[in-house]
Amino acid sequence: MVTTIDDTKRIAIATKLADIKALQNLLIANEEQFVSAIADEDIRKRIQDMLDDDRKNLGVLDTVIVQYGVKGEPKETTVKMIEEVQKLMKGSELTIFEKVSQHELLKHKAAMGGILIHKAAQVVGADIEAAITPLNTVNFENRAHQEQLKGILEILGVRELTGKDPDQGLWARVQDAVAAVTGVAGSVVTRTDDEMTIEQIIRMDHTKTDTLFVQILGSNDAHKIQEFYGQLYKDLTAHSEAEEQVVYPAVRPYYDETQDLYQEQAEMKQMLETIKSLNPASEDFKGQVEKLMAAVRHHVGQEENEMFPKIRDNFSHEQQKQLATQFKSAKSQVQDKFAAASK
């Protein structure tokens, strides 16, 4: 029997993601204070732009956490650190230069956390890499923000020490540094929207699921098979529940074959339970997984080739984003139940 336990490495990554989200909320709170406290119009505008990015990035982090499929809580040390920083930011002990200096360090911490998750995903499993792809946007924007904050700190620091402005050529140097950072990221950094559409979110699920199938069938390590199947079981369960709650009822008036999708998912759920009852070392295990993979791929083809065009034809871009938000919320509720059951 395959027990759907969380691998310790996956739990550690979930905790780090929770840390980053908690830190992201702190960054937003800091920048809101800076916008109110800093009189310099140019600096205030740059911080406002960062704030806009960070609010969008909070939504990206929510997407990554749901797509990742394992829920975690921030570490106690992270919570304590955030509480201490909040007190300092709200108090009068630090100058505005010192507060922005602390903020730049937090940006570095957030960027490094995201990069570490990216590197860890490469080690733990390709399915994790597929799930966390949107995190690249957050990582590179945090790096670009760091470069801008260095320029802001030079201006604020020189003013604090001398009462005069530094060489304004500084901004050109900052922009060169930002261009270098974003050049590495390429189009990943360019983003005009903070929320994916329902089609984009479902496609991400499909990609991750297919990756898990490949990992299961390509491994002869019973422990790794257990880990991969445990994740596949939870991902497909959360995905199907969310589609049945949110997507299928919405698309039914426009797509005559919606009932087929419900039926296919009922059959796949039964297959999931059958495989869960098998020993991963048994001869029948991979044969059953291959049957499930074929059923899932057929289902995916129907959704992407037939259902998606109906969504694009009958729902506005804003409605498609709203469906994505509802879909993620429904998935998150199922994931919360899995997390509670594992405690």
Query: What pTM was estimated for this model as a whole?
Result: 0.82
Are 288 and 205 contacting, i.e. CB atoms less than 8 angstroms apart? Answer: no
CA 147 to CA 170: how far, in whole Å? Answer: 11
Q: Are residues 223 and 324 in the same domain?
A: yes
User: Between the ranges 4-8, 174-178, 255-259, where is the mean pLDDT highest?
Assistant: 255-259
* Average pLDDT over every residue of 169-180: 54
Q: What are phi and psi of 250, to 5 degrees?
A: -70, -35
Q: Helix 283-302 vs helix 222-242: angle between axes, to the nearest 10 degrees?
A: 30
pLDDT of residue 194: 57
Same domain, residue pair 238 and 313:
yes
Phi and psi, residue 67, nearest 5°: -65, -30
Domain edge (last residue) among 188, 216, 239: 188
Domain check: are 226 and 323 in the same one?
Answer: yes
**pLDDT of 334 over the 70 cut:** yes
How many domains does the chain fold into?
2
Per-residue tokens: 234: 């939870």
Same domain, yes or no, for 28 and 111?
Answer: yes
pLDDT value at 5 more than 50: no
49 in any annotated domain: yes
Give the domain CATH number at 77: 1.20.1260.10
Query: Considering the domain boundaries, does residue 318 fall inside one?
Result: yes
Q: Does residue 1 lie in a domain region?
A: no
Judgement on whether residues 163 and 217 belong to the same structural domain of the protein: no
Q: For residue 288, give the amino acid letter.
A: Q
Domain membership of residue 3 (yes or no) is no
Q: What is the arithmetic mean of pLDDT over 250-257?
A: 96
pLDDT at 171 over 60: no
How would DSSP label each residue in 62-126?
HHHHHHH-------HHHHHHHHHHHHHHHSSSS-HHHHHHHHHHHHHHHHHHHHHHHHHHHHH-H
Q: Which two tokens stand for residue 208?
A: 């991750």
* Same-domain check for residues 202 and 178: no
pLDDT surpasses 80 at 7: no
| 94 and 229 inside one domain | no
Q: Are 206 and 154 members of one domain?
A: no
pLDDT at 250 > cutoff 50: yes
> Quick one: 173 and 236 in the same domain?
no
Domain co-membership, 313 together with 277: yes
Do 150 and 16 reside in the same domain of the chain?
yes
The CA distance from 285 to 291, in Å, is 10
User: Is it the case that residue 193 has pLDDT exceeding 90?
Assistant: no
By CB atoms closer than 10 A (0-12, 13-18, 19+), residue 169 is exposed
What's the CA gap between 290 and 301, in Å, rounded? 16
Say yes or no: 253 and 105 in one domain. no
Q: How far apart are CA 154 and CA 156, in angstroms?
A: 6
Query: How sure is the predictor about 192, in pLDDT bands with cuts at 50, 70 and 90?
Result: very low
At 340, list the tokens.
């509670």
Residue with tokens 């060169």: 176
CA atoms within 13 A on the CB side of 101: 11
Q: Which of 166, 188, 210 is the last residue of a domain?
A: 188
Residue 17, pLDDT > 50, answer yes
* Residue 86 structural domain: 8-188
| Domain final residue pick, 129, 160, 188 | 188
Q: What percentage of the chain carries pLDDT values higher than 70?
A: 90
- As a whole number of angstroms, the distance between CA 211 and CA 255 comes to 28
The pLDDT confidence band at residue 184, using thresholds 50, 70 and 90, is: very low
